[in-house]
Structure 1
């Protein structure tokens, strides 16, 4: 069935996907990417992050709504879904950002009850609205900015940057930018005195794809991605089926609930904290040197307890 939606709009895409899941369909990332004329990474991020509050799960290469759950259909299903998602995300950020968004949403919503609950531990950056506005404009116009940066050693210096994205990793906000064509990440709350310039710059699709597929702030530019094969027991496996990592692909699922999956990374620190968090329920199969790093850290920890 053809829909006259603007598939490039994130919120329209989310409500469309959820509506089809609600109708009992099983959806593949590949097919949706073609239908929306976007990348598979973008659609995968929809499932992994933007729709995580809904009772959906990954079954092989298809996404489904859990049995026994349905989102009540109304005449304004899409609008209700969109507003509920926005409200819960902004509540997780807190501060002035949450209060301002709540006031705006209350003017639109017809009811106060929200059946969606999302607990997001995201730092409040409402005190940076002025800087963010300038940076956002520069990103859209592809213009360089000048700013001051506190490197947390109490050494504040001025820098000229080509801003690419404002991103959030593990609840913390960063500006991803090029400085002299070197990709760097700047902690957003340490940026001040932002000024827009008239100096234009350009980026390539490869860099955009790198940002889309990044797992953490440790991702690297000009580094060939490499694969890490991971074993997860049944305790960890179900969580990585529900919320796969951006570059994750499942290699095998077993009857006992265990699985092996592969992720592509550009730096070992993209995956090391994740593996350590899930110990003893996960381990690295390949490459062996990453598992050896984990073993060394565990041994050091055990040998230095008092």
Structure 2
């Protein structure tokens, strides 16, 4: 049973890598892949012809790639999804595939420029950022360490970017909690999941709440004496 699980784990990792590289527009050479993944050419051919058949991979003389029209279709869909999920659709009136193609056209001077404040968050927080995004996506509880507190467990809801800083909107001890990404030193993902509360999810989309994010800690300190919380152990 254990060996079977390891076999499927290796296959999953291999297929994920192949998909990512095909989506990136790479041409994959069969002979090189056999050495990289330590599998036979027959196994890789089965990957492309059966397991990844839905992608429409083209293979010729041991080289596999995605057709250009397929790449463009996936690219447009992924970009539009990204823009929608990050709330940037309101920046581009009537954003669709036609406008997207114009915006992405290669020319010396871009048709649009979005100016914003310099991002002050350094790359040292990238691992914590990824782990929290993963936890948000999978409704996973986490333990978060800052200079002054250990949040255990914390329910992460959403990241909000405002004026060069990332704010984490979360639930802790049944109350809304806002943490600055720069203040988070360590993140530990737990196996337990949580059910997001509708009121907190809706709150994080309100303009007035987003505008108050830089002042949340001060407001929270002011109201704490009025509403004492018994911390869970």
**TM-score where L is the length of structure 1:** 0.37
More helix by share: 2
Larger Rg computed on CA atoms: 2
More strand by share: 1
**TM-score where L is the length of structure 2:** 0.48
